[in-house]
Amino acid sequence: MTIETTKKSITRWHEMLQTGDMSILNDLLAEDVVFRSPVAYNFYPGKQVVFFILTNVIQIFENFTYHREFYSEDGLNVVLEFSANVGEKKLKGIDMIQFNEQGQIIDFEVMLRPKSGLEALAVQMGQRMAAFMPKA
């Protein structure tokens, strides 16, 4: 049953990217979701901050394309291989997404290469995060 639930969620994820309907993301994220950034050691916890990060990354990436999908045996984990541009910089990466039994995302980790593409993304996301995160 789990693999079907996860595949339905991945279909909704692709639908969100194609249509730009970010309400789908709101449905897909569990309240206790965490985001593991390729540029920060610590993870970002909670639906509100993960929603902010993912909606902004989607805006920054240009020519974003998924190439392959890999599912774990238990059906709760998916790896999506992608390519994109950030300005003039090209990058390749993977989204490693863990789902709960209800098909909601509980862990979202991104790995990117090369360093030049990662740095270009870090600069743009850093500016957006500074505006979003409360000052300590």
Q: What is the mean pLDDT of the chain?
A: 93
Give pLDDT tens digits for 24-72: 999 999 999 999 999 888 999 999 999 999 999 999 999 999 999 999 9
**Which pLDDT does position 108 carry in this prediction?**
98
Give pLDDT tens digits for 60-79: 999 999 999 999 999 999 99
**DSSP assignment of 79-110:** EEEEEEEETTEEEEEEEEEEE-TTS-EEEEEE
Domain residue ranges of the chain, discontinuous segments joined by +: 2-132
Listed residue (78, 82, 92, 66) closest to 14, CA to CA: 66
**Which pLDDT does position 115 carry in this prediction?**
93
Q: Which CATH class is domain 2-132?
A: alpha beta
Residue 25 falls in which region: left (phi positive, over 0), alpha (psi -120 to 50) or beta: alpha
For residue 136, pLDDT beyond 70: no
**Which pLDDT does position 129 carry in this prediction?**
83
**Which pLDDT does position 44 carry in this prediction?**
93
Give pLDDT tens digits for 77-135: 999 999 999 999 999 999 999 999 999 999 999 999 999 999 999 999 888 888 776 66
